[in-house]
């Protein structure tokens, strides 16, 4: 299977067969952007939430990639400030899905199937996607390098029974900026927690960020390309039932430069830290 998965991964790393169109969600009353294939009926749709101090424009390549593979992808461009409302972004994600299913797209050559909907997002946008999924039934959720939100995504995840793909950075999966393991632990439906080797939590964000001067959030081309391929393959299988890409929804599948983590496995306990008093005592001895 490994050779086949490598071949599929290589295929999904490249753009798909569809020409991509870009639109403005503001026309329908929701600030944001939408990317679609040039035409298609009963297409799958994905509402995508951005991370903290970013906006929809920072995920253009990711959304264009999905659209080239036949998905309608729309992202609200709200809650971009330093103190965002995570529930507000979740509400906007649901509004975005309503626009995808209820508003005429393109020149009328594009329609979305109401049962082929997914919620996805990066960092706080991943948490907002989970909060949104707690309010509306969708076919799949994709949480890319999820970060803690208020209220917490873990508080609603046990009641969500759709499948979920949770991607995390292998080196930062247990950092304070990641809630990937707790989220996967309590997910109500089937979930896959897959860690990417050599990735950072903000590697998929394109261009310069507000915190770029502090060395936070530099774009990682390899991380972005791997994420695009893993997400596309997962959604092709879960939303469209394409058996070709079943390995991307299979926790037993071995995918290069990634590994699946069992969230229920015992974690290594942190070694006790020496206090100043303990250090002084050891020196005296």
Q: What's the pLDDT at 285?
A: 43
| Alpha-carbon span 200 to 170, nearest angstrom | 8
Q: Are 200 and 169 in contact (CB under 8 A)?
A: yes
- Dihedral pair phi/psi, residue 168, rounded to 5°: -145, 160
Report DSSP state, residue 209.
-
Structure confidence at residue 269 (pLDDT): 47
Q: How far is CA 162 from the centre of its chain?
A: 15
Tokens matching residue 229: 């391929």
**Helices 60-68 & 221-240, crossing angle to 10 degrees?**
40
Rounded distance between C-alpha atoms, residue 146 and residue 142, angstroms: 9
pLDDT mean values, one per 10 residues, the chain (285 residues): 77 95 92 94 97 95 97 97 97 97 80 96 98 97 97 97 96 90 96 95 80 62 95 97 94 93 74 39 41
Pairing of strands 110-122, 72-76: unpaired
Q: Which of 119, 176, 118 is nearest to 147 (CA)?
A: 176
Q: How many domains is the chain partitioned into structurally?
A: 1
User: Cis before residue 151, ω within 30 degrees of 0?
Assistant: yes
Task: Tell me the CA distances in angstroms from 162 to 9, 139, 157, 254, 261, one per residue in order.
Answer: 24, 6, 10, 23, 19
**Residue 29 structural domain:** 2-284
Q: Look up the CATH number of the domain holding residue 269.
A: 3.40.50.1820
In order of 30, 144, 188, 200, 203, the CA distances from 197 in angstroms are 36, 14, 27, 9, 12
Q: How are strands ordered across the β-sheet holding 72-76?
A: 20-24, 32-37, 72-76, 40-49, 110-122, 140-144, 164-169, 191-196, 258-260
pLDDT (0 to 100) of residue 183: 97
**Enclosing H/E stretch for 169:** strand 164-169
Q: Find, among 255, 259, 233, 195, the residue nearest to 65 by Cα.
A: 233
């Amino acid at each position: 299977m490994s050779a086949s998965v490598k071949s599929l991964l290589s295929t999904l790393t490249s753009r798909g067969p569809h020409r991509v169109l870009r639109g403005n969600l503001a026309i329908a009353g929701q600030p944001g952007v939408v990317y679609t294939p040039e035409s298609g009926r009963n297409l799958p749709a994905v509402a995508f939430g951005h991370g903290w101090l970013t906006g929809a424009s920072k995920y253009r390549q990711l959304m264009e990639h999905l659209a080239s593979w036949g998905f309608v992808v729309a992202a609200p461009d709200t809650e971009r400030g330093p103190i965002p409302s995570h529930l507000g972004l979740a509400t906007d994600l649901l509004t975005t899905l309503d626009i995808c299913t209820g508003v005429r797209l393109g020149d009328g050559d594009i329609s979305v199937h109401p049962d082929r909907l997914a919620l996805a997002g990066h960092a706080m946008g991943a948490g907002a996607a989970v909060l949104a999924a707690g309010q509306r039934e969708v076919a799949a959720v994709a949480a890319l390098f999820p970060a803690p939100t208020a209220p917490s995504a873990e508080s609603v995840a046990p009641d969500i029974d759709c499948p979920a793909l949770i991607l995390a950075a292998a080196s930062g999966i247990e950092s304070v900026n990641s809630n990937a393991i707790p989220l996967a632990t309590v997910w109500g439906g089937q979930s896959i927690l897959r860690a990417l080797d050599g990735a950072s939590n903000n590697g998929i964000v394109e261009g310069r960020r507000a915190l770029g001067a502090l060395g936070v959030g530099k774009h990682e081309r390899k991380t972005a390309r791997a994420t695009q391929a893993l997400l596309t393959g997962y959604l092709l299988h879960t939303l469209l039932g394409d058996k070709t890409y079943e390995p991307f929804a299979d926790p037993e599948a071995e995918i290069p430069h990634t590994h699946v983590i069992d969230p229920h496995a015992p974690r290594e306990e942190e070694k006790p830290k020496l206090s100043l008093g303990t250090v002084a005592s050891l020196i005296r001895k």
